[in-house]
Amino acid sequence: MDKINWGIIGCGNVCEVKSGPAFQMVDNSALVAVMRRDKEKVIDFANRHGVGKWYTNADELINDKEVDAIYVATPPNTHAEYAIKAMLAGKPVYVEKPMAINYSECQRMIEVSKETRVPLFIAYYRRFFTYFLKIKEIIDSQKLGSILAINLTTILPPRAEDYNRDNPPWHLLPEIAGAGYFFDLSCHQLDILDFLFGAVEDVNGWYTNRAKIYNIEDTLTSNLKFKSGILASCCWSYVGNKDNEIDRIEIFGSKGKMVFSISANSPIKINIGNQTERYSFEKPKHVELPMIEQVVQSLLGKSEYTSNMESAAKTSWVMDKVMGRI
Sequential DSSP letters for 165-181: SSS--GGG-HHHHSSSH
| 4-125+287-306 and 130-283 agree in CATH topology | no
Q: If pLDDT is split at 50, 70 and 90, which confidence band does 1 have? A: confident
Q: What is the pLDDT of residues 151-168, one digit of tens each?
A: 999 999 999 999 999 999
Burial group, residue 166, by CB count within 10 angstroms (0-12, 13-18, 19+): exposed
Q: Tell me which of 1.20.140.10, 3.30.450.90, 3.40.50.2300, 3.30.360.10 is the CATH number of domain 130-283.
A: 3.30.360.10
Q: What is the pLDDT of residues 303-314, one digit of tens each?
A: 999 999 999 999
Q: 42 CB contacts (<8 Å, ≥6 apart)?
A: 11, 34, 35, 36, 54, 55, 56
Residue spans per domain, the chain: 4-125+287-306, 130-283
Residue 194 near residue 294, CB atoms below 8 Å: no
Nearest to 247 by CA among 77, 121, 126: 126
**CA–CA dist 25, 18 (Å, integer):** 12
Q: What is the pLDDT of residues 64-123, one digit of tens each?
A: 999 999 999 999 999 999 999 999 999 999 999 999 999 999 999 999 999 999 999 999
What are the beta bridge partners of residue 53?
33
Instruction: Say what the pLDDT of residue 160 is.
Output: 96
pLDDT at 316 over 80: yes
Q: 140 CB contacts (<8 Å, ≥6 apart)?
A: none
CATH of domain 4-125+287-306: 3.40.50.720
